[in-house]
Amino acid sequence: MDVMNSGNIAGIFKKTIFAGALAASFGFGCAVMAEEGADVRLKPFDSNEVSINLEVGEMAMMAGNYDEASTAFTRAFTLEPRSYPAAYNLGYISQLKAKNEEAVRYYRQALRIRPESVDPLLNIGVIAMMDEKYDEAMVNFQKALAIDAKSQGARFNISAVFMAKQNYAAAYQLLSDLIKEGAGKEKAGSDIVLKFAQVCVELDKFAEADASLKELKPAARESEVEKYYLTGCSLFKQKKNDEAEKAFAAASDSAKDNESLSKLLIGKIAEFKKTGRTAKPLRIKE
């Protein structure tokens, strides 16, 4: 998956993950870094221990040691239940472990601490999307958008809800706006471009789909596979079957070293040929 990130130890580690039609097509907020003073408001004898545990948790998160990170954030949260980084990151770790009910509880606690935060709302919405609770997901994404009208994650996810409900025209408009704003020029924008191409294929806007895919140079393997897959879908719907098969073969070649991705792709191609639809997004489990 591609990520956008900025931040440091003193502030929020603002990362948003995007994925396209072959992966989980949602943007969601990721880990936050340990914060100083402003949000913690501790008794003096507690502050050092809380700060140390937040920093230990942060370093463990960056190293991918989520159990160690969870232990450290739990200690910090026990000492200071008003710590946004502790509450949020415990939710994020729970989400990574598919403990979604627990994740939502922590995210709601993070929102009570910082009601203006966008990332917990995005993540609660993502969890709802995974359970196909699209109306609930939309409510959370719209709340996030009301806080930050420029949030790419919120707008991208709202387009995913529209796609799930087969409201392709609405999804097309949202994604078109993101493309026009130059979002596609950012690293994470490759997935916005892929999602835009997907909705164009669904709407038979082949020229726009083909132009977007032709210019795209994805960094991640999943995105490369999806680029070839959607190219094949577009060509197949245009009855350019030989060219479509070449594109599907290129997708298969890109996925061949990843068994899970390869199996997923085979199913997606078969489903598309049967239904003429690019199909609803699926998670890649490795």
pLDDT for the residue numbered 280: 59
Inter-residue contact 265 to 279 (CB < 8 Å): no
Q: Cite the DSSP H helix spans in 114-167.
A: 119-130, 134-147, 152-164
Sequence-separated (6 or more) residues with CB below 8 Å from residue 214? none
Give percent of the chain with pLDDT exceeding 90: 69
- Selected residue with higher pLDDT from 191 and 37: 191
Please, how many CA atoms are within 13 Å of residue 172, restricted to the half-sphere of its CB? 15
Residue 21's Cα: distance from chain center in Å?
A: 11
Of the chain, the end-to-end C-alpha distance in Å amounts to 13
Neighbours of 253 (CB within 10 A): 13
pLDDT digits (tens, 9 = 90+) for 220-229: 888 999 999 9
- pTM of structure: 0.79
Which has the closest alpha carbon to 162: 130, 192, 135, 191? 135
b/e burial code for range 173-200 (CB count within 10 A of at least 16 → b): ebbeebbeeebbeeebbbbbbbbbbbbb
The string of pLDDT tens digits covering residues 117-153 is 999 999 999 999 999 999 999 999 999 999 999 998 9
Q: What is the pLDDT of residues 145-187, one digit of tens each?
A: 999 999 989 999 999 999 999 999 999 999 999 988 874 444 4
- What phi and psi values does residue 80 have, to the nearest 5 degrees? -140, 90
Amino acid at 95: Q
Question: Judging by beta carbons within 10 Å of its beta carbon (0-12, 13-18, 19+), is residue 167 exposed, middle or buried?
Answer: middle
* Whole-angstrom distance, CA of residue 32 vs CA of residue 55: 11
The DSSP H or E segment spanning 249 is helix 241-255
What is the residue type of 187? K
Shortest CA distance to 73 belongs to which of 31, 127, 115?
31
What would you measure as the largest C-alpha separation in the chain, in angstroms?
72
